Amino acid sequence: MTSADNAPRGQSRRNRRDITGRHVLITGASSGIGRAAALAVADKGAIVFLLARRDDELAAVVEEIRAEGGTAYGYQCDVTDSESVDHAVKTILDEHGHVDMLVNNAGRSIRRAIHRSTDRLHDFERTMAVNYFGALRLTLALLPQMRERRFGHIVNISSAGVQVATPRFSAYLASKAALDKFTEVAAVETMADGVTFTTIHMPLIRTPMIAPSGYQGPSESPEWAAATVVRALTERPRRIDIPLGTFAEYGALITPKIHDRILHRYYRALPDSPAARGEEVDTTAPETTEPLTPQHNPRRRSAVRRVTGTALRRAARWVPGTHW
């Protein structure tokens, strides 16, 4: 354990939140949220272990972090393969001694209506293999050494869609919901062991993973997601939600019929993507992380709009469940 773990109660919250020198393992770190999170965590002084399947892209991220003065190590790993996970974890522990924090970020998303999925059970199996069992493999593999050291923090990247019950994401959200419930139980059982958990209910993030699904509504950048991951590692709350997810969760409890009707209208308004309908999709175009939103003529925001936006963002942080 580091000195921060044994810090007296009078020590400043800022020092207790410092992750300098922490060993942080991030899965799915070759692109998207994982890449952005690895860069952000390394910038905070942590020693980052990056796991991903694509070795070339993984090496590129490691070099980028090192070029900026950070410390990073890359390990090729397929989270759906138990032998691959065991090998990666053993190698990391042999070379570096321990892992302080784990970010289960690797994920697979499928957007397809259920009536188009009746002959596609493999969609549900594939999302469970990555989003649930993949995260479980890493968690179970690292938990013994965290309990032995009596310190560890695990961040699970979930989705605000679990709270909303977003149509067309039945396979994806079922896998994330399973991870959410496992995390709730594990967090209770490991309280006395010094191991804590954070579940982040992420909104839609502009990454290559969502590109085949087309426009789905407002989205955030990978850098925004990375800042949220850093907050989860430093402040270690039980959950980080967004206001939309919180409102939807309460709405489903208080006015379930209205909640369902709103979601059904949303379901009818946004059709399946060409890929989900089984139509040919141009796969030669390069992947992009640009916003999948209608383009408007740029215009400068007035001072009133800036002040109003800031006030609304601050107010949103007080919505129950946004960060607790």
What is the structure's pLDDT at 246?
85
Nearest to 241 by CA among 173, 322, 316, 177: 322
Q: Is 311 helix (H, G, I), strand (E, B) or coil?
A: helix
Residues in the chain where the model's pLDDT stays below 50: 3-4, 6-12, 283-301, 318-324
pLDDT at res. 270: 76
Q: What is the pLDDT of residue 111?
A: 87
pLDDT of residue 204: 87
Q: Which of 248, 151, 220 is nearest to 191 (CA)?
A: 151
- Residue 25: φ, ψ to 5°: -105, 130
Instruction: Supply the pLDDT for residue 19.
Output: 97
Question: What one-character DSSP code corresponds to residue 191?
Answer: G
Q: Is 172 a catalytic residue?
A: yes
pLDDT confidence of residue 141: 98
Write the pLDDT tens digit of every residue in 32-63.
999 999 999 999 999 999 999 999 999 999 99
Integer Cα distance of 25 and 233 in angstroms: 11
Residue 266: predicted pLDDT: 81
Q: Which pLDDT score, from 0 to 100, does residue 50 have?
A: 98
Query: What's the confidence (pLDDT) of residue 10?
Result: 44
Catalytic residue among 73, 172, 250, 267: 172
- Residues belonging to the chain: 324
Domains of the chain, first to last: 19-250 (3.40.50.720)
